[in-house]
A and B are shown apart, each in its own frame.
Chain A
Amino acid sequence: MRTVRSLWQVLIVLALIGCLASLFGPTERRWGVDVGAVGSSVFSLALLASVILVSVWPRDAFPDHWSLAESRAWVGLIFTALLLCGFTDYLLGVAALEEVPRTFHDLPRHQFYWLLGVVAVAWGVTSGVLALRGGPALDERDLRLRHQADRLGDWALSLLIIACVVLLNAVPAARLDWWLEPVILANVLVGVLMTKLLVEHAALAFGYALARR
């Protein structure tokens, strides 16, 4: 059981390293190695292997004293962190464009969409497979912790909106031209929502950890 859990943890770390290398690695070859391509392959293989591992041994991937909802909270935190990493890289790519994108089709074809697809499938499969462990999926204590996490997410969303309002008022209009393009604005709003999702999952996962102390 410990071996499965250790292996799973190693795979998750490998997937995170691969994801970061693929998204933020240097564009040129280093020591004859294409870091981005290698990172991308490592990420895909490690993610696939970890999903298979959870599918085959759903009881062993997480500690016994974790409930199903707690396991799902940590899985959610890992996947939302991956998505936000990908989205940040995507926004940096958009910011580097010479011309301001006017429509959705002007946006660069980016591996963020690929990442989004892969993560969505892996997240769905992992969450579904975890339910095979049996027991109640969600009881009143889980709901209370989730409610607290949701409230924190709402606070994060409010703060982000206030930050946007302050920024819009404080920065001269000429400097905001790029940000106020509808396509860019839409992407920023997606980023705000993804940050809220990450805060919620982080609050939920750490809420479970704190409740046990």
Chain B
Amino acid sequence: MTEIIISNQIRVLRAARDLTQEQLANACGVTRQTIIALEAGKYSPSLELAFKLAIALASTLDAVFQYAEKK
């Protein structure tokens, strides 16, 4: 069975732009707890939130999120 792994660079990109979790959460209209869950890889966002995150981090979707399949 193929295992799908979705990872992200939110923590790295956020640190590079000197943003706090709270600031990023406000920019995307979500709670800080959701940003924490995303950074910990415990939550996969909707496409809408993924785009919002990419815009808030001044980046592209594929730079923020990585998709991999593991057999």
Contact = CB atoms under 8 A, between A and B. Distances in A.
Contact of B34 (A65, A66, A139): A139
Interface in A92-145: 135-136, 139-142
Contact of A70 (B30, B33, B42, B46): B33
A211 B34 CA distance: 10
Contacts of B15: none
A135 B29 CA distance: 8
Interface string A48-83: 000000000000000001111110000000000000
Nearest to B36: A65
Nearest to B38: A141
Interface residues of A, number: 14
Given A141-B37, A211-B37, A69 B31 contact: yes
Q: Is the interface of A mostly helix, strand, loop or mixed?
A: helix
A139 B29 contact: yes
B14 interface: no
A65 B45 CA distance: 19
B33 A140 contact: no
A203 B49 CA distance: 25
Interface string A140-157: 111000000000000000
Contacts of B49: 140
A70 B36 CA distance: 14
B42 A67 contact: no
Q: Which of B25, B29, B34, B48 has the most CB of A within 10 A?
A: B34
Q: Which of A66, A68, A135, A142 has the most CB of B within 10 A?
A: A135
A139 B49 CA distance: 10
17 contacts: A65-B36, A67-B31, A67-B33, A68-B31, A69-B31, A70-B33, A136-B25, A136-B29, A136-B31, A139-B31, A140-B30, A140-B48, A140-B49, A141-B37, A142-B31, A211-B43, A212-B37
Given A67-B32, A139-B29, A140-B34, 17 more contacts: A65-B33, A66-B33, A67-B31, A67-B33, A67-B34, A135-B31, A135-B32, A136-B29, A136-B30, A139-B34, A140-B45, A140-B46, A140-B48, A141-B30, A141-B37, A142-B31, A211-B42
Nearest 9 pairs between A and B by C-beta?
Answer: A139-B30, A67-B31, A67-B33, A141-B34, A139-B31, A139-B34, A140-B46, A136-B31, A141-B43
Interface of B: 25, 29-34, 36-37, 42-43, 45-46, 48-49
